Homo-oligomer: A and B are copies of this chain.
Amino acid sequence: MTDVDLTDPGGYRHWVAETVRFSDTDMVGHVNNVAFAAYVETGRVAYGMALASEAFDAGTRLNVVLRRLELDFVAEAHYPARLRVGSRLLRLGRTSYTIGTGVFADDRCLATSVGVLVVVGPDGPMPIGGRAREVMTAALP
């Protein structure tokens, strides 16, 4: 992943809009880090749903579990602000995949995140195969 710069808005494949809520701030006066976890989840899940809609028949039920989350805080955010959250696929494993996410005010990066997700079936982690693997491979950097 050394060759991917998550602070560069140009590399993202999927975007969602976010609004900083007053309750996202904390007593330090800026947006609390917990709100950033919520921002990146909103982007990551929306991108996952977009990929899944290509990879699976409608109605397919998938259980995707967040195994690991990393957040790097680049700059403070304040209320009020409109943000945008970009997402991209970074890695594809046998039963897991890694999504990179960036939180931006216009083109200024405020935070980046890496989320490792595992596809889980009734018997535990489930290999990502068939059309899902094709769709996700095509989305890799």
Q: Which A residues have a C-beta under 8 Å from some C-beta of B?
A: 16-19, 21-23, 25-30, 32-35, 37-39, 41-42, 45-46, 49, 65-73, 79-80, 82
Within 8 Å CB of A29, what residues of B?
27
In angstroms, Cα B12 to Cα A45, docked, is 32
Copies of this chain, count: 4
Determine the residue in chain B with the shortest Cβ distance to A30. Answer: B27
Determine the residue in chain B with the shortest Cβ distance to A79. Answer: B27
Within 8 Å CB of A45, what residues of B?
22, 79-80
Within 8 Å CB of A37, what residues of B?
23, 33-34, 37, 69
Q: Of the candidates B19, B26, B42, B67, which one forms a contact with A16 in the assembled complex, judged by CB atoms under 8 Å apart?
A: B19
